[in-house]
Structure 1
């Protein structure tokens, strides 16, 4: 059960959403921490800048080094060194320093008493404070406490024209405390937030996938019961799940219709086969008992009927199995002439001993791609159907029409009622029920013709023939090239 839950869509969605949020939160947290650290470092730089420039201004104004007003406390260690690296001034509590380039913390006595007095009259009176400020990170020990600092450095020319360097620091402990606090909060809050995301995702996906589970359960019941009349529930949400349910029901309806059509096909085929088989058996049994009464022509006729029916059923089975049409280039006019000639036993339009005249009006150059045998079968079936209903004349037309190949077979018979022009293409459907089976056929010819037409990318339809009022069957196929 656990393995099944881990492989469910809901578990995968929850895990995926949690991972995505976790990655996003970690990335955002790192960005926040880096930004916080940089901002606090900038603040420390600003504090150090203020201190170092304030002290540099005092030196530039001529204030003696031992009288410099340095910041009290341990927040801002100060160190003033000359170009030789000697310490001229330093914070009173400064015990150790690193990061400034000069480790000394004890001021060196300057030669000459006047160095610590007011400037002489000969002195220029004021020095110059440098513009550039450099920053570095180091450590300092103030009154026994060691801490990290951000140091600012500026060069100053004092009142005597000597250049000194002033270092002033600002503590980084506040920055580091803030970063540690933010990191701790994120480490505590991240798992909690991920648990909330996982829980919400689990509940939302459960609610969203509940109709899918209902569909699955109903499909399992349909499979177990083999009742194709049942349908899955369709939620009224109008979303993808609702469309899935609607499509599933449409598929079930199509499958039900297909199965029903198959059942009718098997029943009709059995019925159609029973008649010639029973007739043939009767004749053979009579012939076996009374050879002189054997109706050989009748037995041959029943055998031919049985053979034709078996051929039709096999062709329909191949078409239902998805047999694809070939890609042979076929001249449609030549195919019609050959088929008519084969059926008449002579040339087209000339049928000795038959009152039905077949006239062929075929344009040259009308070519299609497909199976020559299957298309010849369509022409044969249309001609056979026309012969059963025509009074005296059949017209076969082949031409190009609207960018497609058109093959039309018209007769001068009674025609097909408008309400029946689609039903006649169903299998085992015959409108002339009064006919004998020998005359009317099994009702498969037009069904085969339409199936073949559709597998060639075309369409077969029935209309009324003008001006005779008979039937007109039009086969439209894509032109080859």
Structure 2
């Protein structure tokens, strides 16, 4: 079953089936118990009526046993001999004895005859003793059995009650109550359940199928639209969003948000590839032209220009490779780097700068951060290159510590960055109008690489206005603990 609708329908049907079967069994058990309790009560009442007559001295052959067909009765003595029985009782089981015919040795009366010793006084005292004329107040014993009355055999519930006659004889009265009503009621309820359960389960399965189908209809629409987007590769399309506020509507909105981000990412990737191709084309074309001219006219070969184009091409390839690694999620190293020492080292190696760089690093305090020394050096170098490109008279690098972070400020006294352009300059291949010369300006990747590396190290890179009116680039990195 690969269909969600089928699994939902089957699951709901199974749950309802288990619940209904459990409830049905409970109902049958409770109903049967209640009906048996009622039969117990009827049998006990019939037995106590006969036992009461025996306690009052009623002769066996004068006992009123009530409706003998509904309540068959047996009376036995301590030896299990049958002393009284219903007239139409033909066979019985489940009582103290299966006898239905009086034995000749059974006494004919429960009282009224004098004893052979002729002691009338003792006899009278015995009959007048209320303690010797009683029906047992103990709970009767109940058993299941059968009885054949007037040619018809049925199941009965028998109650056994003890009674003491006026002569001190203890008798046991077995009276039955028919179980036909209980059996008929249980059978009727069981039949109704067996008939109604399949119908109800079919209804549950059908309703679950229809409800699930209706609920999943928007999902099918989302699937079809995604399949169409995949086939057409048109990331500008969006899946339909249902008007409900349920999980499916949230899924559609999240899918559209993902498509928006994916469209923007693909767009950036395409622009990146186009810009990279454009940037690479210029130095490669220049280098090829110079080499072709040199091959035809060696005396005209511009070796310094060819070397410059080669270096530019090499730097651009290195920038593109680093961006590719950053986009792939490459994690920086976890080495401890002293930013103060790193800044001094980077500045000391810049012997060809047109404007000397002033460095301000405190002598005391920890300026250590955790990360990749090579990538952090690349950030500082890119910031210094940018400052050298735009400054007029001075470039200053200041390293300081502030509230669990290390700050590196690179300032210049150039034209600065317009406020509306301060975020755009960190985009790839973006150069402002005054830096569009490919000979003097870079490819527009330095600041983008610097911000990406800062973010990978858990830091930030922002630009503001310097006190001299130029640009102030601030690199903030978490201090190493």
Determine if the TM-score, normalized by the shorter chain, exceeds 0.5: yes
Indicate how the Cα distance of structure 1 residues 284 and 137 shifts in structure 2: closer, same or farther if over 3 A, else same. Answer: same
- 5 Å-filtered alignment, 1:403-414, equals 403-414=404-415
- Cα displacement string for residues 411-465 of structure 1 (whole angstroms, at most 9, x for unaligned residues): 3322211111110110000114455213210000111111122222322222222
Conserved 8 A contact 2:339-2:367 = yes
CA distance in 2, matches of 1:118, 1:336: 134
* 2:135 aligns with one of 129, 136, 161: 129
CA distance in 2, matches of 1:337, 1:364: 16
- 5 Å-filtered alignment, 1:366-377, equals 366-377=367-378
The match for 1:298 is 305
Conserved 8 A contact 2:463-2:474 = yes
Indicate how the Cα distance of structure 1 residues 129 and 113 shifts in structure 2: closer, same or farther if over 3 A, else same. Answer: closer
User: How many residues are matched?
Assistant: 468
Which 10-residue stretch deviates more, 310-319 or 435-444? 435-444
The match for 1:3 is none
Indicate how the Cα distance of structure 1 residues 427 and 164 shifts in structure 2: closer, same or farther if over 3 A, else same. Answer: same
Conserved 8 A contact 1:330-1:369 = yes
Conserved 8 A contact 2:47-2:174 = yes
Conserved 8 A contact 1:65-1:116 = no
How far off is 1:116 after superposition?
4.8
Conserved 8 A contact 1:408-1:474 = yes
CA distance in 2, matches of 1:401, 1:213: 55
Residues 1:29 and 2:30 are matched in the alignment? no
CA distance in 1, matches of 2:180, 2:406: 90
CA distance in 2, matches of 1:86, 1:445: 118
Conserved 8 A contact 2:83-2:106 = no
Conserved 8 A contact 1:63-1:118 = no
- Cα displacement string for residues 381-422 of structure 1 (whole angstroms, at most 9, x for unaligned residues): 122222222333333333443433433323332221111111
The match for 1:280 is 287
The match for 1:264 is 271
* 1:336 aligns with one of 339, 343, 350: 343
Residues 1:358 and 2:364 are matched in the alignment? no
- 5 Å-filtered alignment, 1:5-20, equals 6-20=1-15
CA distance in 1, matches of 2:325, 2:84: 106
CA distance in 2, matches of 1:62, 1:110: 19
CA distance in 1, matches of 2:107, 2:181: 43
- Cα displacement string for residues 84-127 of structure 1 (whole angstroms, at most 9, x for unaligned residues): 11112222222222222322222345666664538963333441
The match for 1:314 is 321
Indicate how the Cα distance of structure 1 residues 42 and 112 shifts in structure 2: closer, same or farther if over 3 A, else same. Answer: closer
* 2:164 aligns with one of 154, 157, 162: 157
* 1:172 aligns with one of 165, 179, 187: 179
Conserved 8 A contact 1:64-1:118 = no
Indicate how the Cα distance of structure 1 residues 475 and 176 shifts in structure 2: closer, same or farther if over 3 A, else same. Answer: farther
TM-score (normalised: structure 1): 0.91
Which sections of structure 1, spanning at least 5 residues, go unmatched?
1-5, 346-352
Indicate how the Cα distance of structure 1 residues 385 and 37 shifts in structure 2: closer, same or farther if over 3 A, else same. Answer: same
The match for 1:94 is 89
- 5 Å-filtered alignment, 1:5-154, equals 6-108=1-103, 115-117=110-112, 121-125=124-128, 126=130, 127-132=133-138, 133-154=140-161
Please give the root-mean-square deviation of Cα atoms over the aligned residues, in Å: 2.2
Which 10-residue stretch deviates more, 9-18 or 368-377? 368-377
Residues 1:471 and 2:471 are matched in the alignment? yes
The match for 1:249 is 256
Indicate how the Cα distance of structure 1 residues 58 and 410 shifts in structure 2: closer, same or farther if over 3 A, else same. Answer: farther
* 1:289 aligns with one of 293, 296, 303: 296
CA distance in 2, matches of 1:260, 1:253: 10
CA distance in 1, matches of 2:257, 2:144: 74
